[in-house]
Structure 1
Amino acid sequence: MSLQLAIGHYQHYELHCSALKLHYELHCLMVHLTNDVLFEVHNGDRKAIVDIGSRTCTCNRFQLEQLRCAHAIAVLQKANHDPYDYCSPYFTKLKEAMMHAYEETVFLVGHEDAWKVPENIKSMALYPPQGRLRVGRPKKRRCKASWEINAKQREQVKCGSCN
């Protein structure tokens, strides 16, 4: 799969996931055309006004999240508009940004015998950095996960005369 195709799939997947989350809400919405760019969206007793010309909605989610608004998605579906034309540059510019990152050819490094290393670099002796020994017991290598911290609760130590 080419990089451009993979990025395109990712871009569409992001938008598709946000639309799926709103799928249930979309079925409850009734869209009424006011004029070419202004729509009324009814959800029971609630009403929202969507202006696809200025990309606004009275719930303010269309302006803030740029297409995660159920009202805007319902209007765009009703008006047979492509939702990708109205979404955030995050969804549309991602493909271009990733393509620019891999625009130039990345060459593989050949076998170690073919490397041309200067003599002053070859003669250098490399040693690991000197670390300081810390005081106290060494820390365990593995950090416990949040669910493991209190998993082993300690019993209170009591003397023989206590119950």
Structure 2
Amino acid sequence: MDSTLVNALKSGRTWLVSRSSDHVFEVQSRPLVSVDLLNRTCSCYQWQLNGFLCAHAATAIQKSGGDLYAHVEPFYYTSKFKDCYAESIYPIPTVEKPLVAMDDLVVLPPICKKPPGRPRKNRIPSRGEKIRRVQCSRCEKYGHNRKTCKEALP
């Protein structure tokens, strides 16, 4: 979280900060943002959503000479993280859990049937493609070639 705080300060170092009252600041970024340090709010709403300082709030606190870490929520401190895991964590018993077979957990491919009939032998021509008709060189008729011609010779 320290690196996030440093990145927030880097992004806001060119912004101008003007004091509106003792605890309300106006940060001139794009868009214009107001920061209230007493209520821990910012008009970009990132501070309220994350509970961690946004770039606007960090810049306002730094330019006013305040302590950045005093405005960070306590659950971001490593001491609070260590307190969460200080006591033993016991597993949850399986008394109330439904019995699940291992076969139900395996995801199988979808069932698909082969369509009836023989597969197509000829390809389907594309939309702009012209189909050339076969012409017999012996009888000059279309639909077959010289090898398969069954016409009688004149």
Q: So what's the TM-score if we normalise by structure 2? A: 0.49
Larger radius of gyration: 2
Q: So what's the TM-score if we normalise by structure 1? A: 0.47
More helix by share: 1
